[in-house]
Amino acid sequence: MAELTPSVAAPATAAPAHHGPSYVKTWGILLGLLVVSVVGPMLEIRVVTLLTAFGVALVKAYIVAKYFMHIDVEKRYVTYLLFTMVVLMGLMVAAVSPDVLKHDGHRWENRAAKRSVVRGENSAKAAAALPGAVHH
Amino acid sequence: MSAATETHGHAGHGHDAHHDEGFIKKYLWSTDHKMIGFQYLFTGILMAVIGGFTVYAFRMQQAFPGTHIPGFGRVTATDYNALVTTHGSVMVFWVAMPVLIAALGNYLIPLMIGCDDMVFPRLNRLSYQIFLLSSVVLVASFFVEGGAFGGAWTSYPPLSAKAEYSLTGTGSSLWLTAVALEFAAFLMGGINFVTTVMNSRAPGMRMFDVPMVVWMIVIASILFMASVGPLVAGAIMLLFDQQLGTGFFDPAKGGDPILWQHLFWFFGHPEVYVVLLPAMGIVAEIITVFSRKKLFGYKTVLYTAIGTGVLSFFVWAHHQFVAGIDPRMANVFSVTTLLISIPVAEMIFVYIGTLYGGSVKLNTPMLWALSFIAEFLLGGVTGIFLGASGADVYFHDTYFVVAHFHYTFFPIAFIGAFAAITYWFPKMFGREMNDTWGKVHFWGTIIPFNGIFIPLFLLGARGDHRRIYDYRHFPDLMKAGMQDLRVFATVCLLVLLAFQVVFLVNLFYSLVRGKKASANPWNANTLEWAAPSPPPHGNFPEGLPNCYRGPYEYSHPDRAEDFWPQHVKGA
Amino acid sequence: MMRPIATTRSATGIPTGKLAVWWLIASEIVIFGGVLGGYIMHRLGHPDWAHQAIHTNTWAGAFNTFVLLTSSLAAVLAHQAAEHGDGKKAAKMLYLTVVGGLVFLVVKSFEWSHEIHAGYTITSNTFWSFYYTAAGIHGIHVIVGMIIMLFIAADAAKGKELQRVENVGLYWHFVDIVWIFLFPLLYIAK
ipTM: 0.94
Q: Which residues contact A24 (CB under 8 A, 6 or more apart)?
A: C73
Residue C30: give its domain's CATH number.
Answer: 1.20.120.80
In a domain, C2, yes or no: no
| Per-residue model confidence (pLDDT) at position A18 | 58
State the first-to-last Cα distance of chain B, in angstroms, to the nearest integer.
Answer: 16
Q: Which residues contact B454 (CB under 8 A, 6 or more apart)?
A: B403
Angle B287-B293-B294 from CA coordinates, rounded to 5°: 90
A19 vs B397, more confident: B397
Angstrom distance (rounded) from CA A72 to CA A65: 8
Residue B290 banded pLDDT, cuts 50, 70, 90: very high
One-letter amino acid at A81 equals: L
| Per-residue model confidence (pLDDT) at position A109 | 81
Among chain C residues, CA nearest to A41? C188
| Per-residue model confidence (pLDDT) at position A128 | 77
Range(s) of the domain holding residue C159: 17-188
| Interchain contact B301–C (C-beta under 8 A) | no
| Per-residue model confidence (pLDDT) at position B564 | 95
How is A12-47 classified by DSSP, letter by letter? PPPPPPP-SS-HHHHHHHHHHHHHHHHHHHHT--HH
Longest distance between any two alpha carbons in chain B, whole Å: 75
Which chains have 3+ CB pairs within 8 A of B? Answer: A, C
Asked if B225 lies within 8 A of C30 by C-beta distance, the reply is yes
- Whole-number percent of chain B with pLDDT over 90: 91
Q: What are phi and psi of B550, to 5 degrees?
A: -70, 175
Beta bridge partners of B69: B73
Closest CA to C25 of A29, A61, B39: A61
Helix (H) or strand (E) holding B73: strand B73-74
Asked if C33 lies within 8 A of A75 by C-beta distance, the reply is no
pTM of full prediction above 0.95: no
| B515-544 residues touching C, CB cutoff 8 A | 544
Closest CA to B205 of B213, B197, B216: B197
One-letter amino acid at B47 equals: M
Taking 60 as the threshold, does the pLDDT of residue A5 lie above it?
no
3 state SS of B74: strand
| Per-residue model confidence (pLDDT) at position B5 | 37
DSSP letter at B206? -
Residue C16 banded pLDDT, cuts 50, 70, 90: very high
| Per-residue model confidence (pLDDT) at position B378 | 95
Radius of gyration of chain C (CA): 19
Angle C142-C146-C151 from CA coordinates, rounded to 5°: 150
Q: Say which range, A117-126, B13-22, C17-26, C158-167, has the weakest mean pLDDT.
A: B13-22
Taking 60 as the threshold, does the pLDDT of residue B248 lie above it?
yes
State the first-to-last Cα distance of chain A, in angstroms, to the nearest integer.
Answer: 75
| A27-56 residues touching C, CB cutoff 8 A | 27, 30-31, 34, 37-38, 41, 49, 53-54, 56
Q: Say which range, A99-108, B320-329, C46-55, C112-121, has the weakest mean pLDDT.
A: A99-108
- Whole-number percent of chain B with pLDDT over 70: 96
- Average pLDDT of the residues in B101-106: 97
DSSP letter at B466? S
SS3 letters across B328-377: HHHHHHHHHHHHHHHHHHHHHHHHHHHHCCCCCCCCHHHHHHHHHHHHHH
| Per-residue model confidence (pLDDT) at position B84 | 96
Angstrom distance (rounded) from CA B571 to CA B372: 37
| Per-residue model confidence (pLDDT) at position A108 | 78
Classified by CATH at the fold level, domain B13-530 comes out as Cytochrome C Oxidase; Chain A (1.20.210)
C-alpha distances (whole Å) from C9 to each of B114, B380, B538, B545, C51 are: 12, 40, 15, 14, 56
Which of B197, B200, B326 to mutate to test binding with chain A, by most A CBs within 10 Å of its CB?
A: B326
Does residue C29 contact residue A85 with C-beta atoms inside 8 Å? yes
CB atoms near residue B228 (< 10 Å) = 26
Q: Chain-wide mean pLDDT for chain B?
A: 93
Angstrom distance (rounded) from CA C152 to CA C160: 9
Taking 50 as the threshold, does the pLDDT of residue B141 lie above it?
yes
In a domain, C87, yes or no: yes
Does residue B516 contact residue B430 with C-beta atoms inside 8 Å? yes
- Average pLDDT of the residues in C141-169: 95
B73-74/B68-69 β-pairing: antiparallel
Residue of A4, A108, A113 lying closest to B204 (CB–CB) = A4
One-letter amino acid at C147 equals: I
Distance of CA C156 to the CA centre of its chain: 21
Asked if A116 lies within 8 A of B8 by C-beta distance, the reply is no
Asked if A88 lies within 8 A of B226 by C-beta distance, the reply is yes
| Interchain contact A66–C (C-beta under 8 A) | no
Does residue B414 contact residue B379 with C-beta atoms inside 8 Å? no
SS3 letters across B524-555: CCCHHHHCCCCCCCCCCCCCCCCCCCCCCCEC
Angle B355-B356-B358 from CA coordinates, rounded to 5°: 70
SS3 letters across chain C: CCCCHHHHECCCCCCHHHHHHHHHHHHHHHHHHHHHHHHHHHHHHCHHHHHHHCCCCHHHHHHHHHHHHHHHHHHHHHHHHHHCCCHHHHHHHHHHHHHHHHHHHHHHHHHHHHHHHCCCCCCCCHHHHHHHHHHHHHHHHHHHHHHHHHHHHHHHHCCCCCHHHHHHHHHHHHHHHHHHHHHHHHHHCC
Q: Say which range, B328-337, B369-378, B422-431, has the weakest mean pLDDT.
A: B328-337
In a domain, C30, yes or no: yes
Asked if A92 lies within 8 A of B230 by C-beta distance, the reply is yes
Closest CA to B420 of B47, B43, B105: B105
Does residue B565 contact residue B529 with C-beta atoms inside 8 Å? yes
Asked if C4 lies within 8 A of B248 by C-beta distance, the reply is no
In a domain, C9, yes or no: no
Q: What are phi and psi of B487, to 5 degrees?
A: -65, -45
Does residue B464 contact residue B471 with C-beta atoms inside 8 Å? yes
| Per-residue model confidence (pLDDT) at position B10 | 37
Angstrom distance (rounded) from CA A86 to CA A71: 15
> Cα dihedral angle (B365, B370, B375, B380), rounded to 10 degrees?
120
Angstrom distance (rounded) from CA B232 to CA C30: 9
Asked if B230 lies within 8 A of C34 by C-beta distance, the reply is yes
C-alpha distances (whole Å) from B136 to each of A113, B155, C126 are: 39, 20, 33
Angstrom distance (rounded) from CA A68 to CA B1: 54
Does residue C75 contact residue C93 with C-beta atoms inside 8 Å? yes
Does residue A10 contact residue C10 with C-beta atoms inside 8 Å? yes
pLDDT in tens, A23-82: 999 999 999 999 999 998 888 888 888 888 889 999 999 999 999 999 999 999 999 999
pLDDT in tens, B184-212: 999 999 999 999 999 999 999 999 999 99
Taking 90 as the threshold, does the pLDDT of residue B2 lie above it?
no
Taking 70 as the threshold, does the pLDDT of residue B1 lie above it?
no
pLDDT in tens, B294-319: 999 999 999 999 999 999 999 999 99
3 state SS of B69: strand
Asked if C129 lies within 8 A of B248 by C-beta distance, the reply is yes
Angstrom distance (rounded) from CA B459 to CA B403: 10
Question: Which residue ranges make up each domain of chain B?
Answer: 13-530
- Residues of B in Cβ contact (< 8 Å) with A116: 251-254
Angstrom distance (rounded) from CA B54 to CA B320: 26
| Per-residue model confidence (pLDDT) at position A3 | 37
- Residues of B in Cβ contact (< 8 Å) with C170: none
Taking 80 as the threshold, does the pLDDT of residue C190 lie above it?
no
